[in-house]
């Protein structure tokens, strides 16, 4: 797959320009300038504390940038209500109301977004939780909670899916199903921006890669541009952190 940040719609899914976030004296994200093309699975890689989650939170309007800006689905970061209805997200571990059923957890968000109840049934089916939908979410296994979190992200049938460690806690079968789901979504023309520590998994699915370290972008481009000559992502990533590239 050949990717160009400027797609058929003429608009990349995400563009950040000098995006920065400072917490006290610490720069969590430092002048980040990246582009994510529409219709791609973009992997977001970096060590713990590199600023991945902070970047994702800024893109979702949860955290205000200290400097810089971004455009998401052609809309400015400063106006999240203009693009968030078209974005689905899973940030960190899934946050659930443990005493409410999986279905009601989804209904809370569907109601808030003005989505029909039928959408809840659809996403429960897509993450294979229909059978356990009436159980309290607090009784779900870690993997099931993760799948419910993914269902929440898929609820608005998003054009852009932003997911933070979506494979965390999933068993091997769950990871394979997630991979298939992500590919299916991409084939439907959706963009997926996904942070993950599972480099082997990213290598399999990502068309585009962003490598982040200490809040700065070390690489942003097609995965094929980073993984040259049969090198694997793990070795390349470690080399980048050491400064070999």
> What residues make contact with another protein under the rule CB under 8 A?
57, 60-64, 80-81, 84, 87, 89, 91-93, 95-100, 104, 107-109, 111-114, 152, 155-156
Give the nearer residue to another protein in terms of CB position, either 90 or 233. Answer: 90
Least spacing, CB of residue 149 vs another protein, in Å:
9
Are 171 and 143 in contact by the 8 Å Cβ rule? The answer is yes
DSSP 3-state of 220:
strand
Least spacing, CB of residue 179 vs another protein, in Å:
24
> What is the Cα–Cα distance from 139 to 161, expressed in whole angstroms?
26
Give the nearer residue to another protein in terms of CB position, either 95 or 238. Answer: 95
Least spacing, CB of residue 69 vs another protein, in Å:
17
> What is the Cα–Cα distance from 73 to 152, expressed in whole angstroms?
20
Give the nearer residue to another protein in terms of CB position, either 99 or 224. Answer: 99
> What is the Cα–Cα distance from 4 to 142, expressed in whole angstroms?
37
> What is the Cα–Cα distance from 105 to 43, expressed in whole angstroms?
28
CA dihedral sign of residues 241, 55, 161, 218: negative
Least spacing, CB of residue 35 vs another protein, in Å:
22
> What is the Cα–Cα distance from 207 to 228, expressed in whole angstroms?
13
Give the nearer residue to another protein in terms of CB position, either 57 or 132. Answer: 57
Give the nearer residue to another protein in terms of CB position, either 132 or 206. Answer: 132
Least spacing, CB of residue 106 vs another protein, in Å:
10
First CA to last CA distance, the chain:
24
């Amino acid at each position: 797959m050949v990717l160009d940040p400027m797609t058929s719609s003429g608009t990349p899914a995400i563009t950040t320009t000098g995006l920065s976030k400072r917490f006290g004296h610490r720069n969590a994200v430092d002048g980040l300038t990246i582009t994510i093309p529409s219709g791609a699975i973009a992997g977001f890689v970096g060590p713990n504390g590199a600023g991945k989650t902070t970047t994702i939170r800024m893109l979702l309007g949860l955290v205000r940038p200290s400097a810089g800006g971004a455009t998401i689905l052609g809309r400015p970061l400063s106006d999240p209500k203009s693009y968030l209805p078209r974005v689905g997200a899973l940030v960190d571990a899934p946050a659930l109301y443990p005493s409410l059923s999986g279905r009601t957890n989804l209904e809370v968000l569907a109601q808030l977004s003005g989505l029909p109840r039928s959408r809840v049934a659809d996403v429960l089916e897509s993450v294979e939780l229909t059978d356990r939908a009436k159980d309290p979410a607090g009784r779900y296994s870690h993997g099931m909670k993760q799948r419910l979190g993914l269902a929440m992200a898929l609820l608005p049938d998003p054009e852009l899916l932003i997911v933070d460690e979506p494979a965390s806690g999933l068993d091997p079968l769950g990871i394979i199903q997630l991979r298939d789901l992500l590919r299916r979504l991409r084939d439907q023309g959706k963009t997926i921006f996904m942070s993950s520590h599972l480099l082997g998994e990213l290598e399999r699915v990502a068309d585009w890669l962003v490598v982040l370290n200490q809040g700065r972008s070390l690489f942003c481009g097609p995965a094929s541009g980073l993984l040259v000559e049969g090198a694997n992502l793990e070795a390349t990533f470690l080399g980048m952190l050491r400064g070999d590239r």
